[in-house]
Structure 1
Amino acid sequence: MRDNQNLQRTMTSRHIMMMALGGAIGAGLFKGSSSAIDMAGPSVVIAYLIGGIILLFIMQGLAEMAVQNNKARTFRDLVQSHLGKYPAYFLDWIYWKMWVLNIAAEAVVSAIFLQYWFPQYPIWFLTLLVSVLVTVVNLLSVKVFAETEYWLALVKISVIILFILAGILLLFVSFGSHEAVGFSNLTKHDGFFPNGSVGLITAMLVVIYSYGGTEIIGVTLAETKNPEKVVPKAVRSTLTRIIAFYIF
């Protein structure tokens, strides 16, 4: 019975890399970026860059702790060896609380997007539908969950790349009644900082929220093959991609 309850190390580097990308690229980019731009204007680029630097330090620290403690299975194990039992216990519950609230917000945002195609259904029904589907996937085996996350994240990344290419086309190519404006709009409407430093600082709240989810790599420690090697590799490969996607 005890053997049956052991976690299986079936997740690979590609799985956790896509989980980190998928975790950070979601409602925060597709919905949250509009709020950040509204607050900071063009200077939101600086906010995403600053947030990326903060993320860099956090994730490098996570990778280093994973290398030092190759027997760690959760965030709690990583923290407990450095700060003690009670801070680790506190972190466990804070992290659980964060995701309970976050998944509810993500489900509502998903429903808002879905309602564009299915306007006949109310938000609460679509939110419930998304929540049930996510729960079912999480109740399946780790390998099924990892593969599902991998392909869904790949879809999101593909869409973002298309967004970036479409943006470049709109900026630099004139066609029909559309005139290529280049980078003129960065300073044209009340300057690069239309709402001053206050707008930039306020936007940082949305930016930090948007980058959340990258740390989910640390949750996979007990179910990843060779985590002391895979985690640092996943951190390095995902950080640059996440920051680049948001800034572009």
Structure 2
Amino acid sequence: MEKGLKRELKTRQLTMIAMGCAIGTGLFLGSGLAISTAGPGVLLSYALGAFIILLLMGCLAEMTVAHPSSGSFGLIAEKYIHPFAGYLVRYSYWIANVLAVGVEVSAIAVYMKYWFPHVPGMVWILLFGVVLIYVNATSVNTFATFEYWFSMIKISAIIGFILLGAYILLGPSGGSSTIGPQNLVDSGGFLPFGLKGVWIAVFISLFSFLGTEMIAVTAGEAEDPDVAVPKALKATVFRLSTFYVITLAIMLMIVPWKSAGIDKSPFVKVMEILNIPGASGIMNFIILTAALSAMNSQLYASTRMVFSLSRAKSAPAVFGKLNKKGVPLFALGISAMGIIMAAVVSGLFPGTSYAFMMGISMFGAIFTWFMVFVSHLFFRKKWERAGGRQLPVKMIGFPYLTALGAILLVSLMITTWFTSFKILLQFGIPWLAFLSVIYFLFQRKKENTPLQQENTKDDEEDLEWKTQ
């Protein structure tokens, strides 16, 4: 008899999975796009992005401890708002991660051109795609171990980059005309594109944080969610915020911001400017592993979400089947389609494939995060009214900070219509319309109760936590 997803993940693995998913091309390649959009003011963009994610994690930690399951925020939206809300959240988060896999693998094609400039990017996309599909097809422990060490490599690299940068800035080269704090204000000042540029770059910064919510998705496979989830969330937000802001500040003081772009990673450009023998090649290898790590985590997340959809009878039953190792193999297959899409886009538009894939992937993420805030507004009141157990973590500033997070995200989505990222709404609005039509044509008649119970032992137990 199949017993559902296994609870095997420890706190350190949860933290590393979330950081592994978040520290990917958003920092190593996307930061170049953000810098060219906001100039040195990108530091404010990442700080504001981190603030939004901090609010998000506060809400998510409270709700995930109450309901640790593979369905995560989709299940919570379904329970506390309406089944339709849960349906939209699950599918939107799934498509966000499916497309984010495509973003990461598109970046891999850029990185590989450093060594093999004449090999088509499509070759690398398909090659690395097959490798990571294989990794995800094994047990969750194999995935977690793989992700843990991948994350260790890139986190160590970031720490090494910070130490090296600090030495360069404080050492003999720090007082030169080309390296130092003056780069933060030269060439148009700290805000060369004004606050408008800073605000637009927040959108790009949020892509760098995509994956922190992975802890909620993996909660269904955590050993002790009450302890592991809040601890992992706090550690992840703190580390990411620190890494991003400090790393970008050092980068901007070494590389003039006008040199930023997405032809190659700004990290590699730093090493080229410093002229350290072999360092740029090593850094390119490290950011390659970073992209593989993020791609690995996002493939995991999208697989678990479509598994949850199937068990809630909102997707074909075949996607809810597990193999002998406890892996939803069919769900993995459908979730890998982002790799195919990235290969096609890379072949058709090699110069703009990265920005295009980022734009369409971010709608699902921002919409899901927005719904997390909305779900929390409903959750807290209903939980307290029903006399739910005292939770080990609670979002501060309720309901004001919860509402602030939702308002910031909606404002950001609206803003993209007036920027080069309007593809977000051009994709997102038809996507929600399509899901709505499918739901009201086929899904409503399947609902026999206000809450569709997910047919796994894990989720049935999770929903009973309220009375424990």
Q: TM-score range by the shorter chain?
A: over 0.9
What residue is the counterpart of 1:74 in the other structure? Answer: 71
Larger radius of gyration: 2
Higher RCO (CA 8 Å, separation ≥ 6 residues): 1
Cα RMSD for the two superposed structures: 1.8
Q: Contact (CA 8 Å) 1:65, 1:78: kept in 2 or not?
A: yes
Structure 1, unaligned stretches of length 5 or more?
A: none
Q: TM-score, normalised by structure 1?
A: 0.93
Look up the SS of the partner of 2:62 in the other structure: helix
Matched, 1:239 2:237: yes
Give the counterpart letter for 2:180 in structure 1: G
User: Residues 221, 180 of structure 1: CA spacing in aligned structure 2 closer, same or farther, 3 A cutoff?
Assistant: same
User: Residues 18, 37 of structure 1: CA spacing in aligned structure 2 closer, same or farther, 3 A cutoff?
Assistant: same
What residue is the counterpart of 2:168 in the other structure? Answer: 170
User: Residues 60, 179 of structure 1: CA spacing in aligned structure 2 closer, same or farther, 3 A cutoff?
Assistant: same
Give the counterpart letter for 1:54 in structure 2: I
CA drift of 1:243 comes to 0.5
In 2, distance between residues paired with 1:164 and 1:28?
18
In 2, distance between residues paired with 1:181 and 1:36?
20
Give the counterpart letter for 1:116 in structure 2: Y
Q: Contact (CA 8 Å) 1:115, 1:126: kept in 2 or not?
A: no
Match of 1:222 among 220, 223, 228: 220
What residue is the counterpart of 2:2 in the other structure? Answer: 2
User: Residues 147, 180 of structure 1: CA spacing in aligned structure 2 closer, same or farther, 3 A cutoff?
Assistant: same
Q: Contact (CA 8 Å) 1:173, 1:180: kept in 2 or not?
A: no
What residue is the counterpart of 2:130 in the other structure? Answer: 132
CA drift of 1:163 comes to 1.7
User: Residues 176, 188 of structure 1: CA spacing in aligned structure 2 closer, same or farther, 3 A cutoff?
Assistant: closer
Look up the SS of the partner of 1:184 in the other structure: helix
User: Residues 176, 36 of structure 1: CA spacing in aligned structure 2 closer, same or farther, 3 A cutoff?
Assistant: closer
User: Residues 8, 176 of structure 1: CA spacing in aligned structure 2 closer, same or farther, 3 A cutoff?
Assistant: closer
Q: TM-score, normalised by structure 2?
A: 0.50
Moved more, 154-163 or 53-62: 154-163
In 2, distance between residues paired with 1:81 and 1:95?
17
Structure 2, unaligned stretches of length 5 or more?
A: 247-468
Give the counterpart letter for 1:73 in structure 2: S
In 1, distance between residues paired with 2:228 and 2:236?
12
1:191-218 deviations in whole A, cap 9, x for unaligned? 1101111211121111111111111111
Identity between Structure 1 and Structure 2 (%): 38
1:108-152 deviations in whole A, cap 9, x for unaligned? 101211221233532110111111111111111000000000000
Q: Contact (CA 8 Å) 1:74, 1:221: kept in 2 or not?
A: no
| 1:73-92 equivalent positions in 2, closer than 5 A | 73-75=70-72, 76-92=74-90
Matched, 1:200 2:198: yes
CA drift of 1:93 comes to 0.4
